[in-house]
């Protein structure tokens, strides 16, 4: 019993830095801003960039109203209150992204989304449901410790009083809630798809006939990938995402599968910002500590100096600590690896949010190469 309790405490209450929470908040907030401004959907081509401020979806019900059982007491949404809802939701999404008044904003946003979900059964959409869960977890968590205006203000406040700003170490609980939620979600959706129509791939033909697949890329993607492949790829990726993010060795490949899966969905289906939300949630598995990878660059060497500049410009999540040193470029990973040349370049690309996908390809390719021809030891 005591061992079980110790394991429970380790799982939920082990101390951890909170940079990851800030990162997840920043990206999830951004997806909400995109949602409430109508900017989404690869399947829409350039039309995805049409900005609508705020995005107004129109009333879902008229005189016939169908609240979720037990929530008949909620005031019905009117055309005026829906416009207010839209404006307020966009304003709170912007504040959440900036991290200003983060806790209060998260609570406000959670209440707004919950109201929309419960006020009418016709308001239900999968991605709204996922947002409700995620923002409710945000409302219970300190999401503004990092990458936020709250953090900047706290630092200024501390300095004004001659105090040294501190880096909060909190229970890992908040990050774990996001991780467990994500895993249960993928597990449930995989179990739901264990049907004959998914096994034989006919679901994709049915989805196409039903008008669920759309956009200019539909024909190309359906031509490139047979329905059976698409169905099994979905089942494989979703089941992998339920477990693969937990282990450091499978994390990057799993995240890559998730990104590919959701970009594929976004290229053919109207799921608004659902794909971007799910991809953002993978960040909850990012190592919470920043600056644990160090890269030594030689300012005298053009390639080395260029990589240093790239890291300065694109390392928004502060994963890499730059060290200026003469000699060949060296990357020291948190796991104790020392990498040089293209191996270091591949790892750096994999750590930057914008080049994550390319970095994984380089890393995978080089990993295969390393197995065939191991590089000479460095350092």
Partner 1 sequence: MGPPEQLALGPRARAAWSVALVLIFGLQIGLGLRSRLHDDDRYGFAMFHEFTRYKIDYQWRLVDGSARKFSFPVALPKRSAAVRGGRHQVEVFGAGTTRLQLRGALRYLWAAHRPDDAVAVEAVYRWRRNDHPEETVEQLRWPPEGGP
| Minimum CB distance to partner 1, residue 249 (Å) | 26
Piece in contact with partner 1 (CB under 8 A), picked from 81-89, 91-99, 192-200, 337-345: 192-200
Give CA–CA dist 108/95, Å, rounded. Answer: 11
What is the smallest separation between the CB atom of 78 and partner 1, expressed in angstroms?
A: 13
d(CA 260, CA 236): 12
Q: Which stretch binds partner 1 (CB under 8 A): 47-55, 56-64, 91-99, 294-302?
A: 56-64
CB atoms within 10 A of CB 107: 17
| Mutual angle of helices 274-281 and 126-139, in 10-degree steps | 40
User: CB 337 → partner 1: shortest distance, Å?
Assistant: 25
Does 210 help bind partner 1 (rule: CB under 8 A)? yes
Angle subtended at Cα 144 by Cα 140 and Cα 150, rounded to the nearest 5 degrees: 135
344 bridge partner residues: none
The two tokens of residue 337 are: 């690896």
Give the residue with the Cβ less far from partner 1, 129 or 250.
129
Q: Is 225 in the site for partner 1 (CB under 8 A)?
A: no
> Phi/psi at 194 (nearest 5 deg)?
-80, 70
Among positions 37, 81, 82, 121, the unique one binding partner 1 when judged by CB under 8 A: 121
Dist CA 90 CA 250 (whole Å): 36
Footprint (CB under 8 A) of partner 1, residues 350-379: none
According to the binding rule CB under 8 A, does residue 52 interact with partner 1? no
Q: How far is CA 297 from the centre of its chain?
A: 30
Is residue 226 involved in binding partner 1 (CB under 8 A)?
Answer: no
Mark the segment that binds partner 1 (CB under 8 A) among 60-68, 100-108, 326-334, 371-379: 60-68
Hunting for tokens 């609240």 — which residue is that?
Answer: 67
Residues 81-120 that bind partner 1 (CB under 8 A): 120
Upstream peptide bond of 102 is cis (omega within 30 degrees of 0): no
Among 92, 143, 203, 259, binds partner 1 (CB under 8 A): 203
Q: Do strands 338-340 and 330-332 pair parallel, antiparallel, or not at all (unpaired)?
A: antiparallel
Residues lying near partner 1 in the complex (CB under 8 A) are found at: 8-9, 12-13, 15, 17, 57-64, 66, 120-124, 126, 129-130, 133, 164-171, 173, 177, 180-181, 184-185, 188-189, 191-193, 195, 197-198, 202-203, 205-207, 209-212
């Amino acid at each position: 019993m005591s061992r079980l309790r110790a394991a429970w405490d380790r799982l939920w209450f082990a101390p951890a830095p909170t940079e990851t929470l800030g990162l997840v908040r920043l990206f999830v907030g951004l997806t909400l801003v995109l949602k409430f401004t109508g900017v989404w959907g690869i399947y829409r081509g350039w039309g995805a960039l049409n900005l609508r401020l705020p995005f107004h979806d129109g009333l879902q019900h008229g005189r016939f109203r169908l609240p979720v059982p037990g929530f008949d007491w909620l005031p019905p949404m009117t055309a005026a209150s829906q416009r207010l809802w839209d404006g307020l939701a966009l304003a709170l999404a912007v504040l959440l992204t900036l991290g200003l008044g983060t806790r209060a904003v998260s609570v406000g946003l959670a209440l707004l989304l919950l109201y929309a979900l419960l006020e009418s059964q016709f308001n239900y959409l999968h991605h709204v449901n996922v947002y409700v869960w995620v923002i409710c977890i945000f409302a219970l968590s300190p999401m503004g410790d990092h990458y936020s205006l709250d953090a900047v203000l706290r630092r200024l406040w501390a300095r004004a009083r001659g105090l040294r700003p501190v880096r909060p170490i909190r229970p890992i609980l908040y990050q774990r809630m996001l991780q467990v939620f994500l895993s249960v979600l993928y597990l449930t959706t995989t179990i739901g798809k264990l049907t004959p129509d998914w096994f034989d791939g006919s679901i994709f033909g049915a989805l196409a006939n039903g008008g669920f697949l759309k956009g200019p890329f539909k024909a190309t993607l359906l031509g490139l990938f047979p329905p059976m492949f698409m169905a099994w790829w979905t089942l494989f990726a979703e089941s992998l995402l339920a477990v693969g993010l937990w282990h450091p060795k499978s994390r990057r490949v799993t995240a890559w599968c998730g990104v590919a899966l959701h970009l594929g969905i976004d290229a053919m289906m109207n799921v608004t910002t659902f794909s971007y939300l799910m991809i953002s949630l993978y960040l909850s598995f990012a190592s919470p500590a920043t600056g644990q990878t160090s890269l030594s660059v030689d300012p005298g060497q053009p390639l080395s100096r260029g990589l240093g500049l790239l890291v300065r410009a694109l390392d928004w999540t502060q994963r890499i600590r730059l060290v200026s040193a003469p000699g060949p470029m060296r990357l020291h990973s948190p796991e104790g690896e020392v990498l040089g040349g293209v191996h270091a370049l591949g790892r750096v690309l994999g750590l930057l949010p914008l080049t994550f996908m390319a970095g994984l390809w380089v890393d995978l390719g080089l990993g295969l190469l390393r197995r065939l021809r191991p590089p000479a030891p460095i350092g």
